[in-house]
Chain A
Amino acid sequence: MMLTPFTLTLTLATLAAPLPQEAQPAPQAPAAAPAPAAPTAPVRTVVPAERRDRAALAGAVAALQAAHPGRVSAASIGNSARGEPIAVLTLSRDAATADARPAVLLVAGMDGTRWSGTEAALVAAESLLGTAHEALLGDVTLYVLPRGNPDAADAYLRGPRRDYSGDGAVHDNDRDGKIDEDAPRDLNGDGLITQMRASGVLLPWPAPTLVADRGEPRLLRAPDAAAGEVAVFTAWTEGIDADGDGRMAEDWPGGIDPERNFPHRWPEFEDEAGVYPLLAPESKALAEFVAAHPNVFACLVLGRHDTVVNVPDAKARTVGGMPAMIAPEDERAYADVAKAWREVVGQKRAEGRDAAGSFVAWMNAQRGVPTFASTLWGRPDVPEPTEEEKARRKDLPKPADAEAAAWLDYSDRMRGGSGFVPWTRVEHPQVPNMEVGGWVAGFRENPPLEEVAALGERCAAFLARLAEHRPMVRLSAPTVTSMGPGLWRIEATLSNTGRLPTVMRGGRAEGVIPAHVVRLSVPVDRVKSGRRIDVVRGIDPGEVRRLAWIVQAPPEEEVAVELLLAGNVVERHAFTDGAPAGTGGGK
């Protein structure tokens, strides 16, 4: 394979000595959280993306299980479109009772390009099993899904690399009745699928719509008519017109994009969003897992979406009337956690994509489980340009897309130009003047390999913080006051002393999400005031609800006040004749 800058970087990385054991601090280290203690076991699990194939992932999972017997169990939530099992790890102090404890769900690998999420998830899992976080797993269970979309990961590993997240489903992308007849092609042999452009394109090929930005000519953009610009380039995905229909690279193997196949703001007619929500087995399996694990109180997704650097607008609503992501009432608690992410992980920038049809949007808006999405990494700061560079740029206009230009700057100056394939002429069977070039898939989506382990450690630290935010619903020990013979006033408070709601607003619907229930043992006809069975659909952090009843209870009959969740009794307070049960009666 040709030694392009991209492969050069990767080769250097693989030649490097075993990865450093301590986290490298980011340029502006966060002051808030203490640096995590050095991991007690070497961080073995980070390997270059090319090697984390199916077998390597299974190996990493097996290694974790072997290193922490009884505390890690592995299962499959279902199979991908191509039949690959989707692994889920359960981390807890005791695998047998893990589902009985409140839990955090960590999801990664829903996107083909974002291998760093999978790596970070594995590192985080290993770290959380270490002694630094031992107490955590006593109270909270962690479910880790390192690779939610195995088909897309396989495609990325197989190459040529492109920014693609569809699963392996059979799908006619261009709706011409033929399947996969014209996939993208690596015309310049660089192992990548990038873009192509051609100037002066004549009929029958599409008319030009783009110009090269004068400030940064590698970037294509729409012409600025006010500045007298006229379109020059037509652009395509790298490929040819294999089936003679006038389109290039328009129908490839795959699929449904699981991260656009969830029911909230589902983009119905976008290609690869699926003909109905949760048709993609990856999305369905994840949804079923969530539904079967009501103990999950929060979730972190590492992928293409961001809700932690740019906290979603709580006022945004869908056309049907649901919150677009979160409701105003939940904004404060949500933003607190997002802030914790920024403090612990130090991420300052994120280019998250539209969350329509995504897992994070569905979880927040319809399941009411606070779910935090992060791209894990954003564009780093680039040092000030040199005097030479300033002089060169002095007379050029500013690039229209400042962020893209900054990425190029970063790639050029700090990554040896490996982020962007320079536009280069290529022989094309159909269109003359064709050039291939463009962003390298995975470059902007993943931090450099050597930074991943540290980010994984910080994810672990964040998850530990997130666990501390968990809702803690308590029923206070009731006070019981005699109101007369056999007549008692019972008062209790139901409170959530945690920092997250039990269910956010969108999930407080009937019959769908389990609720807390406060229940008296006294038959209903002896409950003179108050509800015998009180359903509480969601308790906000810091909320205190006062409950009061007047009940009739004959002497020596035990009266119990119970708190239930999803049908299970989680707290029980009993008393007889006004005194706590077992202590004997006072009248």
Chain B
Amino acid sequence: MNATARLASCALGTIAALAAPASAQQRIASRADIPFDRYYDADQVDAHLFRLAEAYPELCRVERIGTSTLGRPMLALVVNNRRTGDEGSKPGMYIDGAIHANEIQAAETVLYTGWYLVSAYGNVPKVTELVDRSTFYLLPMVNPDGRVEWFTKPGTPHSSRTGLRPTDDDGDGAADEDGPNDLDGDGSITQMWRKDPFGSHRRDPRDPDRMVPVPNEPKADGTREYGDWSPAGMEGIDDDGDGAINEDGTGGYDMNRNFPAGWEPENIQGGAGRWPLCFPETKAMADWVLQKPNIAAAQSYHNAGGMILRGPGAAHREGDYPAEDVGTYRRIQDTGAKMLPFYRSMVIHRDLYTVHGGVVNWFAESLGIITLTNELWSDKRIMQDGADPDEEERRLWNERVLLGRTRTAMTEVPHPQHGTVLVGGGTKFSARIPPTFMMEEEIHRNFAFTMYHADQMPLLRFESVEATALPGGLWQVTVGVANDRAIPTRTVRAATAGIGLDDVLALEGAEAVSAGRLSRRTEQAMDPQWFQPSQLHFPRGVPGLGAAYGRFLVKAPAGTPVTLRWKSQKAKSIETTLRLGEQVLPPAGAK
């Protein structure tokens, strides 16, 4: 192309670009806009769910799935376009957050998911497609009591992991009698230092909020140096006079160890509770999920660390993850690692630690669902150079980028046991969660990743239907059903353990004399099903990005219309009709 033409086409391209909708890169317009540059307490999260349901009644509804320990309603948002089918007729993706209430950004991430799906519906084709063909079950707060606790009580980034059932952690016959105490009234529970003439630390003269360790080794002349302060645990006093500080705070269990997949009691797994699903929150969630056999994908959000985790949680459960399923997991996880900078794809027990009875284990191993847990936020996002920040970098981040907002001043306060203590330091916002100005990006990327995950849920079509005439008025009808997505209609785990129902290929309109499964479309001999040949069972379903084949021998006159229907718990049923001898669907190609 000569230079003039190139110039002309360039200009035309520019004009075309200018004419393109200016909204394409603007924020999604919504009838119920929700800012995602801030954290919401439990009441606000619930209120947002109701706003979305009110603004988009044709696409979503709020469902109360149960009641928390302290009597709060547990609210979920179900997103489905009723016009394209009932909720249970489509593959479902389940997304929850904040079973550990301190992992607060999980709730905003789930809330964003609901908000984006209903708001972008009709405007963003990919979203429209996903909402039309799937159902989304969104539970932003599995532990709403804990979220209230986190927001209203002084705490650390790690407190309120538990639920709020009073629990006797130290066995002394009293429950929750000695938790941390906010001695300096700054709204945070921080590290505590006791005044100690033989202390291991001193305050940094350049930075009074920083503690510097004193060298351990004697000096060259044999004398030792001592500081003024020694660590004394977390901020608190001995409330119950037993000599221990903060040994029995609110709650004291871990609901993410309470699920009945490889569940182990307290001796083996701390926090597991007295038996599986003994907490109202875990039982309500489990009962709700068990009523939805169409759930084919799941995500349970946690913080922190920048991880995309799959099970097993314990080495001896490796057998629950057959190779084909692992392949499905890896495909999704590896893509996630590319969509989420600084996140790594990991296996819980191998790369993290042993977990017995976790949500992700129950979904994957007991229900046969392809389930992942994202640990939101990585400290690598501070410097964004691939490495965790060192001490200098952290100080700069806290002081200059965050302008000191996640730190409280170190203050000396009297202490009944230690005399004088020094408290202050990081607030509950100082670790594990993004600063508000970095929230939306991380939330969106995780949301987008779960949409990629959801997009892998089975999508079936008839790849081929061939009817060949045989002598004696018989027809050989060979059917191929393809799954254009990576998640099979039945995981190998589900098929092996006998979870859920088989897929069924049904033939109606004529008598099937015999039927069987084929391993390839062109296979000569079929694996026969002797009984009820009109309902051909496929225990392995349709593999991800694969196909399943079956054959019927049908006795009927030429021209008889027969209908074929593929029924699957985790995929939308499909059907097609052909007239024997008059119509043949072409193999592997046009729909």
Contacts and interface: CB of A to CB of B under 8 A. Distances in A.
Interface in A487-507: 506
Given A269-B497, A269-B498, A276-B286, A517 B275 contact: no
A142 interface: no
A277 B169 contact: no
Contacts of A565: 173
Interface in A537-587: 537, 564-568
A227 interface: no
Interface stretch (B25-33, B206-214, B259-267, B443-451): B259-267
B241 A523 contact: yes
A175 B265 contact: no
Given A268-B366, A269-B498, A524-B242, A322 B264 contact: yes
B417 interface: yes
B174 interface: yes
B267 A508 contact: yes
A537 B171 contact: yes
Given A204-B530, A263-B275, A532 B264 contact: no
Contact of B265 (A177, A245, A246, A322): A322
A511 B171 contact: yes
Nearest to A567: B173
B276 interface: yes
B243 A533 contact: yes
A509 B501 contact: no
Interface in B159-193: 167-174
B173 to A, nearest CB: 4
Contact of A531 (B243, B266, B366, B501): B243
Nearest to A283: B275
A510 B173 contact: no
A105 interface: no
B541 interface: no
B171 A517 contact: yes
B462 interface: no
B30 to A, nearest CB: 39
B531 interface: yes
B174 A509 contact: no
A27 interface: no
A524 B262 contact: no
B173 A564 contact: yes
A485 B587 CA distance: 101
B313 to A, nearest CB: 11
A512 interface: yes
Interface in A160-186: 175-177
A533 B286 CA distance: 39
A322 B266 CA distance: 10
A514 B266 contact: no
A270 to B, nearest CB: 10
A531 B366 CA distance: 45
Interface string B516-553: 00000000000000111000000000000000000000
Contact of A321 (B168, B172, B268): B268
A287 interface: yes
B531 A320 contact: no
Contacts of A322: 264-265, 267-268
B355 interface: no
Interface string A301-343: 0000000000000000001111000000000000000000000
A278 B252 CA distance: 22
A366 B168 contact: no
B238 interface: yes
B276 A320 contact: no
Contacts of B261: 268
Contacts of B500: 175
Contact of A176 (B265, B267, B501): B501
Contacts of B498: 175, 269
Contacts of A532: 241-243
A532 B170 CA distance: 13
Contacts of B241: 523-524, 532-533
Interface in A234-259: 241, 244-246
A203 interface: yes
Interface residues of B, number: 45
B559 interface: no
Nearest to A537: B171
Nearest to B417: A525
Contacts of B366: 268, 275
Contacts of B501: 175-177
A320 B262 contact: yes
B322 interface: no
A531 B267 contact: no
B253 interface: yes
Contacts of B270: 510
Contacts of B277: 276-278
Contacts of A525: 417
Given A175-B500, A567-B174, A245 B252 contact: no
B238 A524 contact: yes
Given A319-B316, A532-B243, A512 B265 contact: yes
B268 A535 contact: no
B335 to A, nearest CB: 31
Contacts of A523: 241
A320 to B, nearest CB: 5
Contacts of A510: 169-171, 266, 270
Interface in A94-119: none
Interface in B217-272: 238, 240-243, 252-253, 260-268, 270
A290 to B, nearest CB: 10
B314 interface: yes
A233 interface: no
Contacts of A287: 275
A431 interface: no
B417 A276 contact: no
A566 B171 CA distance: 9
A506 B169 contact: no
Given A322-B267, A512-B266, A246 B276 contact: no
Interface in B422-465: none
A370 B174 CA distance: 25
B532 A244 contact: yes
A266 interface: yes
Contacts of B490: none
B526 to A, nearest CB: 14
B356 interface: yes
Nearest to B316: A319
A244 B314 contact: no
Nearest to B270: A510
Contacts of B531: 204, 241, 244-246
A291 interface: yes
A322 B498 CA distance: 27
B496 to A, nearest CB: 9
A320 B560 CA distance: 59
A321 B264 contact: yes
Contacts of B167: 511
Interface string B11-43: 000000000000000000000000000000000
B3 to A, nearest CB: 70
Contact of B173 (A244, A276, A509, A566): A566
Nearest to B274: A512
B172 A320 contact: no
A275 B290 contact: yes
A515 interface: yes
B316 A517 contact: no
Contact of B172 (A175, A203, A266, A533): A533
Please give me the 7 A-B residue pairs with the lowest Cβ-Cβ distance, nearest first. Answer: A204-B530, A509-B266, A567-B173, A246-B531, A533-B242, A535-B171, A276-B260
7 contacts: A176-B501, A246-B530, A268-B260, A278-B277, A321-B268, A532-B242, A532-B243
Given A511-B169, A511-B252, 7 more contacts: A263-B263, A275-B366, A319-B316, A366-B265, A515-B171, A532-B243, A537-B171
Interface of B: 167-174, 238, 240-243, 252-253, 260-268, 270, 274-277, 286, 290, 314, 316, 356, 366, 417, 497-502, 530-532
